[in-house]
Amino acid sequence: MIFSLANPLRFQRLIEKIEPITLNIAIILLLIGLFFCFFGSPPDYLQGETVRIMYIHVPCAWFSLMIYSIIALCSIFSIVFKHTLADLISRSCAPIGACFTLATLLSGSIWGKPTWGTWWVWDARLTSELVLLVIYLGLIIINNAYEDKSKADRYSSILAIIGIINLPIIKWSVDWWSTLHQPASISKFSSPSIDSSMLLPLFIMTFSFLFFFISILLVRVRGEIIQRKIEVIRFNRMVS
Amino acid sequence: MNLDFFKLVKREIKIMLKNFSIIYSFSTFFVVASLIFVFSVNDISYVKVFYKSIVWIVLIFSIMLVSENFLNEDFNDGSLKELQFLGFSEESIMVSKSIAMWIMIMIPMLFLMPLVFIFFQITLYELKGLVINLFLATPSLTLISILSSLFSVQLKRNKIIQFVIILPFFIPMIIFTTSTGTLFESHNLKENQFLILIGIFFITLPVCLIAGRLIMREINK
């Protein structure tokens, strides 16, 4: 299945079919999610209305890590199998991941002021998330620094693989060090320490962000495919 | 480890000794940059508080400046490719360069320590902590900076890109070196806590070698 999609033209045709569907689902889920966030969930007994920032902050944080994992996976795939599509996906993911990370840091900062009394603290979770943003920026810079795109892809893949070290640090920083940031409320191995009335809008928002990410990614991958086609046409004209 | 590897290290050290200007510029940059910090504050007691951070920041920048000379020249005159044709593995090239660079950094650093002692008005005990820190953390630092210069060897705007790409990887090192230094000064450091710096080195070493191998192969394509 994956290898049959390795042909960018075939993948482009698939994108054209999927992209409008995912965008529509994202918009519908976002509207439902926002309704639940503002009207369908109660304020927190301690934090009051400010807890609603969670519905943006937490999905953004999850996606900042998930997108980096996708980049890292694509990078390994690209180095091992020399898969063009993996390069295209990883290149397209970097700016989206950077935006999600920035949104995490900004929303966290806005949430931090009323809850912790400060916009920013240099604790392990916040610092490692900031490092993730800098790594994303590094990837974007590498992707645009080389004239030869295949070389840029290869170098950014290597950098992305090195950056994997940061992912477990972000994930378990709240357990390894004593931080101001709270530990994870939703865990795979235990029942969530969050009420179901808050959990539902959180999941709806997460799925909305997921479909939004997929649709933006597909648009960017299509753009990359078209750009590479243009480059090939230009090169052929120059040769002839 | 065979004899060829030691020949390679010997070659790198010989080149380093021939290019003495690199050591000279590294030392001068270190002294001048440290002096700028001293002159930028009126009260020396402030500098004394932040001396570890100042030394580390200046050291990182000076290593980054020097590391370019190590690889760019080898890349431009073709000796990097030649070494690979001779059968030296990418890992051994990288390790030999790192060893040579580490020697090149540590020797001038030891000579510059009395200046640090005077500039920042620190005690002998604090100086001892700083030297141990430098000794244990600079191997990782050199490996990372060699890797960063490999990333940027084929770029025109390489200096800026080199800094942006690699600076995030220095952050954990800075955090752990300065914190172990602070614990040492307050006499709260158990001896084995310095081991964290060796631990960082053993994480950095394989990561840098694998990444270095991949980049070197890409460079020579």
Structural domain count, chain B: 1
Helices (H), chain B: 3-18, 20-40, 44-49, 51-76, 79-85, 90-119, 124-151, 158-185, 195-219
Structural domain count, chain A: 1
CA distance A214 to B102: 46
User: Cβ of B155 and A145 within 8 Å?
Assistant: yes
Span A7-39, pLDDT tens digits: 777 778 888 888 889 999 999 999 999 998 888
Domain annotation covers residue A2: no
Domain annotation covers residue A1: no
Q: What is the pLDDT of residue A58?
A: 92
Span A53-81, pLDDT tens digits: 989 999 999 999 999 999 999 999 888 88
**Is the pLDDT score of A182 beyond 70?**
yes
Tell me the residue range of the domain where A26 lies.
15-182+196-239
- Give the Å distances, CA to CA, from B117 to A239, B35, B126, B130, B178: 64, 12, 9, 10, 17
CA distance A138 to B82: 31
Domain annotation covers residue A189: no
Q: How far is A207 from chain B (nearest CA, A)?
A: 31
Q: Quote the DSSP letter at residue A182.
A: P
Tell me the residue range of the domain where B177 lies.
3-219
- Which chain B residues are closer than 8 Å to A146 by Cβ? 154-155
User: Cβ of B171 and A165 within 8 Å?
Assistant: no
Residue B207: which residues within 8 A CB-CB, separation 6 or more? Answer: A162, A165
Domain annotation covers residue A10: no
Does B65 contact A at CB distance below 8 Å? no
Span B140-170, pLDDT tens digits: 888 888 888 888 777 766 667 777 777 788 8
User: Cβ of B157 and A145 within 8 Å?
Assistant: yes
pTM (2 d.p.)? 0.82
Q: How far is B168 from chain A (nearest CA, A)?
A: 6
Domain annotation covers residue A9: no
Does B214 contact A at CB distance below 8 Å? yes
Mean pLDDT for the stretch of residues A215-225? 90
